[in-house]
């Protein structure tokens, strides 16, 4: 078997490896800008729809992308929502090319498909996770189209906090986002970790606030209704320590 060149987190850190949250930040609304376009890859829990509505309220144009469900092949499409599979590379590239124009550029891509994956005791290899959630397809499509919107990768429960174990699949999403920050810096991959202890409605409001602030930080974590900007995390090292404990 060929070994993946990307990092792999096989087991989640234990509760004693709590996420250091000493770098608290305050997100402020960015100055008014001309309306832009956003692509929101919506989760099935409704978070993406709420975020898309918040973006529209401030004057932006939003296209929602629902993930193709094999059990619902006749999913109805509308002008504001299309349905694509996680491996629809050509369709994503065409969509991005149409949306990214000089007079109204594609300002951001919000990836929420990773939130739909179930909690597992052990996550799959990192590249498989990125492919299953469409994240690898989207980044390849952006490169093919020559578009450089900001890529927002949203997780919930990816990182250890005060207690409990993180979701290994969410941790893999966070890991891949860190890799993208090095491999494709032009996309300014920004990781947003939502608080799994808070209700979904609060998560939508928190994410909309982050999108509207245009922060310089590339890693944002919300816990107990506060925002933090942790430094780059060596999740492989945390995993090794957890295994040795």
pLDDT of 162: 59
Confidence band, pLDDT 50/70/90 cuts, at residue 205: confident
Share of the chain above pLDDT 70, in %: 74
- Reported as a single tens digit per residue, the pLDDT across 45-76 is 999 999 999 999 989 999 999 998 766 655 56
Rounded Cα–Cα distance for residues 128 and 117 (Å): 13
pLDDT of residue 12: 36
What integer is the mean pLDDT of 210-219? 83
pLDDT > 90: what percent of the chain? 36
**CATH architecture of the domain with residue range 33-244:** 3-Layer(aba) Sandwich (3.40)
pLDDT of residue 68: 86
The residue extents of the domains of the chain are 33-244
Q: Lowest-pLDDT range, 23-27, 90-94, 156-160, 216-220?
A: 23-27
Question: Quick check: 244 pLDDT over 70?
Answer: no
- pLDDT, one tens digit per residue, over 168-178 is 888 888 888 98
For the whole prediction, is pTM greater than 0.75?
yes
Tell me the per-residue pLDDT of 15-25, one tens digit each, with 9 for 90 and over.
344 555 556 77
Average pLDDT over every residue of 134-163:
88
Q: For all residues of the chain together, what is the average pLDDT?
A: 79
In this predicted model, which residue has the larger pLDDT, 230 or 140?
140
Kindly report the three-state secondary structure assignment for every residue of the chain. Answer: CCCCCCCCCCCCCCCCCCCCCCCEECCCCCCCCCCCEEEEEECCCCHHHHHHHHHHHCCCEEEEEEECCCCCCCCCCECCEEEECCCCHHHHHHHHHHHCCCCCCEEEEEECHHHHCCCCCCCCCHHHHHHHCCHHHHHHHHHHHCCCCEEEEEEECCCCCCCCCCCHHHHHHHHHHHHHHHHCHHHCCEEEEECCCCCHHHHHHHHHHHHHHCCCCCEEEEECCEEECCCCCCHHHHHHHHHHC
Q: Which whole number is the average pLDDT over 210-233?
A: 81
More confident of the two residues 99 and 217: 99
Q: Which pLDDT does position 31 carry in this prediction?
A: 60
Which pLDDT value is given to residue 30?
A: 64
Name the band, by pLDDT with cuts 50, 70 and 90, for residue 5. Answer: very low
Residue range 137-160: average pLDDT?
92
CB-facing half-sphere around the CA of 146: CA atoms within 13 A: 3
Average pLDDT on 143-167 reads 84
Q: Count CB atoms within 10 A of the CB of residue 5.
A: 8
């Amino acid at each position: 078997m060929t070994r993946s060149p990307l990092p792999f987190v096989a087991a989640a850190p234990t509760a004693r490896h709590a996420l250091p949250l000493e770098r608290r930040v305050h997100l402020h609304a960015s100055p008014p800008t001309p309306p832009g376009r956003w692509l929101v890859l919506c989760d099935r829990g409704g978070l993406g729809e709420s975020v898309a509505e918040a973006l529209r309220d401030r004057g932006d144009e939003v296209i929602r992308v629902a993930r193709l469900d094999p059990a619902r092949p006749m999913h109805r499409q509308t002008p504001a929502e299309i349905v694509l599979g996680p491996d629809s590379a050509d369709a994503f590239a065409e969509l991005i090319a149409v949306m990214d124009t000089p007079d109204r550029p594609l300002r951001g891509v919000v990836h929420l498909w990773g939130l739909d994956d179930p909690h597992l005791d052990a996550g799959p290899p990192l590249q498989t996770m990125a492919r299953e959630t469409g994240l690898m397809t989207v980044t390849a499509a952006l490169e093919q189209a020559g578009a450089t919107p900001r890529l927002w990768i949203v997780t919930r429960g990816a990182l250890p906090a005060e207690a409990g174990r993180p979701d290994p699949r969410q941790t893999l999403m966070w890991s891949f986002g860190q890799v993208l920050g090095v491999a494709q810096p032009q996309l300014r991959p920004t990781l947003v970790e939502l608080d799994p202890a808070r209700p979904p409605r609060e998560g939508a409001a928190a994410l909309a606030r982050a999108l509207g602030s245009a922060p310089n930080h590339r890693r944002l974590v919300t816990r107990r209704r506060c925002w933090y900007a942790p430094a780059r995390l060596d999740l492989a090292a945390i995993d090794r320590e957890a295994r040795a404990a």
